[in-house]
Amino acid sequence: MSSAGATERFPDTADRIGHNRLTHAAIRKTVETVTAQAFRVGTGDVSATVEDDAGRLGVKVSIRLSLPPLLKQSPTPRKPQPGPATVFEQARAARQEIVARGTAITGLAIGRVDIRLTGGKPGRLKERRVE
């Protein structure tokens, strides 16, 4: 079928001739970025693999979380932060965000999302100096 024939039959597709392709690497990087945002960590703390999940996109992500200092007493008591209280609740909320935002960005139906929380790195408070 020629493109002229397709344009005559479907006039609203005249500006959409061709195809788009998302590479495996682009999908993986998108999932890593969405996951990093969901967990509020840097993209360097997230790795992802994507695979077929019965016609959907199966996602496996590993996240290295920042941990608060456990043994050091803070000079000023911290106020509780809003949001999920445990890492399991945080993972549950992040899974929903990964599916929603990943689907919105890539247009792919996301099926299973496996989340692996790996070790932690000490969270560092950013100090500001005023002179």
Rounded to two decimals, the pTM is 0.68
Q: pLDDT-based confidence at 17, cuts 50/70/90?
A: confident
* Residue 2 clears pLDDT 60, i.e. is over it: no
* Averaged pLDDT for residues 109-113: 95
Residue range 20-74, pLDDT digits in tens: 788 999 999 999 999 999 998 899 999 999 999 999 999 999 999 876 665 566 5
pLDDT of residue 16: 67
Distance CA 60, CA 48 (A): 6
pLDDT of residue 18: 81
pLDDT of residue 1: 45
Residue 66 neighbours by CB distance under 10 Å = 14
Per cent of the chain over pLDDT 70 is 66
**In the chain, domain spans:** 19-68+82-120
Find out whether 32 and 47 touch, Cβ atoms under 8 Å. yes
Distance CA 114, CA 94 (A): 11
- 19-68+82-120 falls under which CATH superfamily? Cation efflux protein, cytoplasmic domain (3.30.70.1350)
